Amino acid sequence: MSSQDRSTAVWFITGCSTGLGRALAQRVLEHGHRAVVTARRADQISDIVADYAKTALAIALDVNDHVQVDAAIAQAAEKFGGIDVLVNNAGYGYLAAVEEGDEQEIRDMFETNFFSLAALIRKVLPGMRTHGSGHIINISSVGGMVGAASSGFYNATKFAVEGLTEALAKEVEPLGIRVTAIEPGPFRTDWAGRSLKQAEHPINAYADTAAARRAQITGYSGRQAGDPVRAADAIIKVVESDEPPHNLILGKNGLDRVRAKLAALMQSIDDWEEVTLSADYPDA
């Protein structure tokens, strides 16, 4: 996309019923972009598009339903001619110590947070390649960069998103397609409230680690520092930028945690450098 195209792009956003997805859809339309606004129930997003008959399209979409995904992409092409910006926002959290994890809950979360995201990318890329432009925004998390007690399985889905996003950028940027991972910290959305799933059978041994962190997370629901509207504006700024970042952390809490993780990692790398190098053949 040229700079002018990026100011009137066609956005396809998943998970718009609440939280960041809803705020982003509203702000994208207010900024003059066109938007395909999706959620599992169309009635939950009808108010977002009510005043934007020419520039918005509301579609019922369960990202785990591949038939619905194909239909939504076709509808976007029919109304707007294609998709310029894909925002993979749909997802949710499941908190449990690794030992507490329920097999079906783990697999269901991976299906939504990672496999459906990857499938949407594969379905949208042919159109972007044809046009030689586009921007894929994957909503990851600070939890995709920093692991924490009780979040192991959620972390794993977001670490997977981070790895996919980094590799994807190297594959498609030479084709004119940009890729960015967004890493929000705690934001005032439903993620830690009604949308959150938790271990059904807690183990007492993890009372001071996983269970304590679950209580902390649910305890600050509704009081997080992160503002979804400001986050939405930040994402729009990324898309409209001539030089967008590959990664964007959102919020001071997240920034502090990532910096602490990187500092500790670098210290460990330096401390163990001699052992690291000893693993090579002497003549390598």
CA 37, 89, 117: angle at the middle one, nearest 5?
105
158 is catalytic: yes
In percent, the amount of the chain with pLDDT more than 70 equals 96
Quick one: pLDDT at residue 174?
Answer: 98
Q: Which sequence spans correspond to the domains of the chain? A: 3-91+103-191+225-272
What's the pLDDT band for 193 if we cut at 50, 70, 90?
low
Tens digit of each residue's pLDDT (9 = 90 or more) over 20-72? 999 999 999 999 999 999 999 999 999 999 999 999 999 999 999 999 999 99
- CA nearest 169: which of 158, 160, 181? 181
- CA nearest 8: which of 37, 25, 29, 36? 29
Tens digit of each residue's pLDDT (9 = 90 or more) over 203-229? 999 999 999 999 888 877 777 778 999
Q: Which secondary structure element, helix H or strand E, spans residue 113, and what is its range?
A: none
Quick one: pLDDT at residue 7?
Answer: 67
CA atoms lying within 13 Å on the CB side of residue 105: 21
Beta-carbon contacts of 142 under 8 Å, excluding residues fewer than 6 positions away, are 183, 184, 185, 249, 251, 253, 254, 257, 258
The strand pairing partners of 223, in sequence order, are none
Tens digit of each residue's pLDDT (9 = 90 or more) over 249-265? 999 999 999 999 999 99
Do residues 7 and 240 make contact, with C-beta atoms less than 8 angstroms apart?
A: yes
The highest-level CATH class for domain 3-91+103-191+225-272 is alpha beta
Catalytic choice (17, 133, 151, 158): 158
The SS3 call for residue 210 is helix
Tell me the DSSP string of 31-95: TT-EEEEEESSGGGTHHHHTT-TTTEEEEE--TT-HHHHHHHHHHHHHHHSS-SEEEE-----EE
The SS3 call for residue 18 is coil
Mean pLDDT of 84-98: 96
Neighbours of 92 (CB within 10 A): 16
What's the pLDDT band for 1 if we cut at 50, 70, 90?
low
pLDDT surpassing 80 at residue 194 = no
Quick one: pLDDT at residue 217?
Answer: 85
The strand pairing partners of 47, in sequence order, are none
- CA nearest 19: which of 196, 216, 161, 249? 196
Quick one: pLDDT at residue 40?
Answer: 94
Q: Which secondary structure element, helix H or strand E, spans residue 187, and what is its range?
A: none
Query: CA 184, CA 141: separation in Å to the nearest integer?
Result: 5
The SS3 call for residue 28 is helix
Quick one: pLDDT at residue 216?
Answer: 87
pLDDT surpassing 90 at residue 116 = yes
What's the pLDDT band for 2 if we cut at 50, 70, 90?
low
pLDDT surpassing 90 at residue 82 = yes
Tens digit of each residue's pLDDT (9 = 90 or more) over 231-250? 999 999 999 999 999 999 99
Catalytic choice (116, 133, 150, 154): 154
Neighbours of 53 (CB within 10 A): 8
Beta-carbon contacts of 232 under 8 Å, excluding residues fewer than 6 positions away, are 20, 23, 24, 26, 27, 28
Enter the pTM of the model: 0.94
Tens digit of each residue's pLDDT (9 = 90 or more) over 119-177? 999 999 999 999 999 999 999 999 999 999 999 999 999 999 999 999 999 999 999 99
Q: How many residues does the chain have?
A: 284
The strand pairing partners of 182, in sequence order, are 139, 248
pLDDT surpassing 60 at residue 98 = yes
Catalytic choice (17, 116, 133, 140): 140
Quick one: pLDDT at residue 186?
Answer: 83
